[in-house]
Structure 1
Amino acid sequence: MSDLPAVERVDSAVYTVPTDAPEADGTAAWDSTTLVLVTVRCGEVTGLGYTYAPAAAARTVDDLLAPAVTGLSALDVPRANEAMQRAVRNAGLPGIAAEAVSAVDIALWDAKARLLGLPLVDLLGAARDEVPVYGSGGFTTYDAERQDRQLRGWVAEEGIPRVKIKIGESWGSREAHDLARVARARASIGDAAELYVDANGGYGAKQAVRVAAGLDGEGVTWFEEPVSSDHLDALAAVRGRVMADVTAGEYGYTLPYFRHMLAAGAVDCLQADVTRCGGITVWLRVAALALSHGLEISGHCAPAAHAHAAASVPNLRHLEWFHDHVRIERLLFDGAPSPRGGALVPGRDGSPGLGLRLDAERARPFRIS
């Protein structure tokens, strides 16, 4: 055991990047996004992981998680994940602590793959060569011209054949406006591309069913969080009455959360976020849980953190190519992936681990701690 490479040091840093325009969904608005970066030192190798979370997640890494994993074998990532879960028990795992665990777990997997000289997808074992993506943005703050430009960019210029916009504006109080924006989105992308919507829990259950009837006319096939995923009975009720696939899961921080969602029959496709649910270790377990229920999984946001794990599961539907996170990952990291023909091919260039390298010079203006 003493000959195995050990985790020698765990560090965190926080970066806040302004949006390129005001952004909002059905229930929230923002003008910046914060990324908490974790680096794990193992001999001559440094692994990199991150989460999109408040700066408090970095404090959790420094105070609770670094002591829990330092000295452990860098090859035994599940053991380290379990040690972190126990370390935050009294602090409360769901939320910021789970995001911190996720960032360290991703960094540990990156470090292990680098120690072995392998792209992470080769370490995990590929179930597919390509990871389909869908363009995601269409914020409720966009005017018609900006929405049109973004959607056409994905479909016509980047060849992404599926896109998503936000609806449920102002907690569902502008149904007619929501449906008008969906109609404009369909006109922008044409009949061949898939059209998705995300209400971020902004509607009530019966309201969501009414809206869904209008969505059917535009060929919408993905209705994300028509009601809050906190209310699984309501989500399941909507699912039973609409044509589009009902999806949720991005706010899952523990494996039992996903079990409860599946047991309720609440979704047609399960979403999980590798930067929230406990990292790659737990994301793979969520995918297996979905598979055991005959369902597919979709990766939520953070495409550079998801791509290798997404390629390793047989029941992947797709990965979210989220506008904000694509901007940030391309800004902060060299090696951030780009889709071709609507899909990523992780590990294509043979770079070890996730294939990401922090560009300290580009990142410096955005570092806040």
Structure 2
Amino acid sequence: NMKITDVQATVLKTGSIFVQVYTDEGVIGIGECSPMNSAVIANFVNTALKPLVVGENPLEIDKLWNKMTFRTYKLGVQGIQQEAIAGIDIALWDILGKVTGLPIHTLLGGCYRDKVMMYASIGGGADMTVSQMVNRVESYINQGFKAIKIRMDWGAMRQDFNVKKDYEMFKAVKELIGDDIPLSFDANNGYSVRTAITQGRRFEQLGIYHYEEPVAQYDYAGIAKVADALDVPVSAGEHEYTRWQFRDLIEQAKVDIIQPDVVKCGGISEMVKIAVLGSVYNKHFVPHQTQPTIGTAANLHICCAMPNANRPQEFTGRNPQLDELFIEPLIFDDGYIHVPKKPGLGLEIDEEKMKAFAL
């Protein structure tokens, strides 16, 4: 049996965390963790998780996911623990693909779409003027994006801080892009329930594609009130990490769209379970994803293998510094990314370049 010989999480100059899983047969898998606190998460991979998987068979992915999750359960199943597990889990799927000679989407059951439309996810709205956001959106349209989301980054601690500006910003962007380009709005948990409903109705009059995290992430009853009051699909999920948390999000918060993040929610193994759970409840599947290389590739493999993932998917845009680390980076063309067809993730790291770019 193949054995894992080493696990290494590397923090890059961008703050990104790349994970490599080494085997005794020379097959190396790559993964990525959410960079919420790069030093802490990389340390969790290298000290808490590595001893649990070294010596194990990398092809026994679900067995290893459960071992990593339940042996470190009291270290938290929201945040660091699952974000660290994600990096190893993605790398294990990459190994399985390389050993079988198959892309991950084939291992998941097949590819429903060869390319995926991506929406430009544009953050920082809280600290921008209306004209600054309009200029940002215009630059993304010029890159070929055919769908847009503007993010306010308010957070639950700045509730109802500048509702009027948010509306003016959405209205100005809508006037710029017209009705043919879907426009979504992410309040980043920044509204009270009453404000979220009133603002949502105003957005509906202008034409809104989806309404993301309108109220505090912990207020499932409040999210449900907003979802029930509006016609626009309400979404959430970047603050949930396991299928059990998504069960509660679906049943209690009553969201229309679920948004797990593959570099946060324990990797491909758990995200696929979450996707299947969502399909049972007939929910749209539009994952959160802001990491433009490994994270996006893993996300694409899952999305193209899910029949209900037919809406545009999140992309913050290419990062040339990170693209440089790959022999053949992902291709963004005319609003779409083509799903990698090579074995595993379909990405290969240039080891020397990565070492030079490490912190």
Is the contact between residue 147 and residue 312 of structure 2 (CA under 8 Å) also seen in structure 1?
no
Higher mean Cα deviation, 353-362 or 268-277?
353-362
Contact in 2 for aligned 1:247/1:269 (Cα 8 Å): yes
Alignment equivalent of 2:306, drawn from 290, 295, 313: 313
1:238 alignment partner in structure 2: 226
Residue of structure 1 equivalent to 2:164 = 176
Task: Kindly indicate whether the alpha-carbon contact (under 8 Å) linking 1:287 and 1:296 is maintained by their aligned counterparts in 2.
Answer: no
Equivalent in the alignment of 1:38 = 19
| Higher relative strand content | 1
In structure 2, C-alpha distance between the alignment counterparts of 1:184 and 1:331, rounded to whole Å: 36
Q: 1:340 offset after TM fit, Å? A: 3.2
Which residue of 32, 40, 43 corresponds with 1:59? 43
> Does residue 1:99 correspond to 2:83, yes or no?
yes
Gap change, CA 1:218 and 1:353, over 3 Å in 2: same
Show the counterpart of 1:271: 259
Residue of structure 2 equivalent to 1:333: 326
Cα deviation, 1:292-326, whole Å, max 9, x if unaligned, reads 00112112113233111211111113421124x75
Deviation, 1:138, is 4.3
Distance 2:200 2:266 in 1: 33
Q: 1:203 aligns with which of 191, 210, 226?
A: 191
Q: Shift of the alpha carbon at 1:93?
A: 2.4
Post-superposition CA distance 1:197-249 (Å, at most 9, x none):
00110110001111112212321121100001211000000111123211000
Whole-angstrom distance in 2 between the partners of 1:147 and 1:334: 34
Q: Secondary structure at the match of 1:38?
A: strand
Cα distance in 2 between the residues matched to 1:327 and 1:220: 31
Alpha carbon RMSD of aligned pairs, Å?
Answer: 2.1
| Alignment coverage as a number of residue pairs | 345
Q: Distance in 1 between matches of 2:325 and 2:128?
A: 25
Deviation at 1:15, TM superposition (A): 1.8
User: Aligned residue for 1:322?
Assistant: 316
* Residue of structure 1 in register with 2:29 after alignment: 47
SS of the residue corresponding to residue 286 of structure 2 reads strand
Distance apart, 1:101 and its partner CA: 0.4
Displacement of 1:64 in angstroms is 1.7
1:353 aligns with 2:344: yes
- Secondary structure of the equivalent of 1:358? coil
Cα deviation for residue 332 of structure 1 reads 4.1
Kindly provide the amino acid, as one letter, of the partner of residue 322 in structure 1. Answer: T
* Shift in CA distance, 41/326, structure 1 to aligned 2, threshold 3 Å: same
Alignment of 1:152-301 (within 5 A): 152-158=138-144, 160-167=145-152, 169=154, 170-301=158-289
Is residue 73 of structure 2 the alignment partner of residue 89 of structure 1? yes
Secondary structure of the 2:275 match is: helix
Q: 2:12 aligns with which of 12, 15, 18?
A: 15
Cα distance, 1:113 vs structure 2? 0.8
Identity value in percent: 28
* Alignment TM-score, normalising by the size of structure 1: 0.87
Unaligned runs of 5+ in 1: 18-33
- 1:72 aligned counterpart, secondary structure: coil
* Kept in 1: contact 2:27–2:95 (CA 8 A): yes
- By how many angstroms is 1:145 displaced? 4.9
* TM-score of the superposed pair, with normalisation by structure 2: 0.89
CA 1:65–1:138 in structure 2 vs 1: closer, same or farther (change >3 Å)? closer
Q: Residues 138 and 150 of structure 1 are in contact (CA less than 8 Å); yes or no, is this contact kept in structure 2?
A: no
After TM superposition, give the deviation of residue 157 of structure 1 in Å: 3.7
Does the C-alpha gap of structure 1 residues 217 and 361 become closer, same or farther in structure 2, counting only changes over 3 Å?
Answer: farther
* 8 Å Cα contact 2:130-2:168 kept in structure 1: no
- For residue 148 of structure 1, the aligned residue among 134, 137, 144 is 134
Give the Å deviation of 1:190. Answer: 1.9
Question: SS at the partner of 2:188?
Answer: coil
3-state SS of paired residue (1:178): helix
Amino acid at match of 1:8: T
For 2:10, what is the secondary structure of its paired residue?
strand
1:25 corresponds to = none
Indicate how the Cα distance of structure 1 residues 359 and 184 shifts in structure 2: closer, same or farther if over 3 A, else same.
Answer: farther
